[in-house]
């Protein structure tokens, strides 16, 4: 019974999580995301990181994970809304999830 409950909870919470995540991105400040990306990300890579056939990011959730990974490795002091701005910018400009 516990395994079935776990499956049901995963099936319920995943769509809710994705819906909340997407809703927060709809409020993203794309212009700010563009500025933050230009100031902090283009020193390491150019747009080919987002457009190559074998790109790492294959979903919106993975895009968020990757942006946070880069933020943490660069010791950036971005607030969550700034992370969402960069995710929103990258998604609008390159990924279209």
Query: Which residues are within 8 A (CB) of 17 and not within 5 positions of it... i.e. 6 or more apart?
Result: none
Q: What is the per-residue pLDDT for 2? A: 66
Token pair recorded at residue 90: 């990258």
Report the candidate in 92, 46, 51, 90 with the shortest Cα–Cα distance to residue 67. Answer: 90
Whats the size of the chain, residue-wise?
97
Looking at 27-74, list the stretches that DSSP marks H as alpha helix, in order from N- to C-terminal side.
30-40, 48-51, 60-73
Per-residue pLDDT of the chain (97 residues; tens, 9 = 90+): 566 666 666 666 556 555 555 555 557 899 999 999 999 999 888 889 899 888 889 999 999 999 999 999 999 999 999 999 999 999 999 999 9
pLDDT of residue 44: 87
Contact 92, 30 (CB under 8 A): yes
In the chain, where the domains are located: 2-95
> Given this model, what pLDDT does residue 45 score?
84
Say what the pLDDT of residue 15 is: 64
């Amino acid at each position: 019974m516990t395994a079935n409950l776990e499956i049901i909870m995963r099936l319920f919470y995943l769509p809710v999580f994705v819906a909340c995540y997407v809703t927060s991105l709809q409020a993203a400040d794309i212009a700010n995301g563009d500025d933050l990306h230009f100031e902090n990300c283009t020193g390491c890579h150019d747009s080919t990181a987002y457009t190559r056939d074998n790109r790492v990011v294959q979903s919106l959730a993975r895009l968020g994970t990757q942006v946070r990974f880069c933020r943490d490795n660069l010791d950036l002091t971005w607030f969550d809304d700034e992370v969402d701005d960069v995710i929103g910018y990258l998604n609008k400009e390159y990924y279209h999830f």
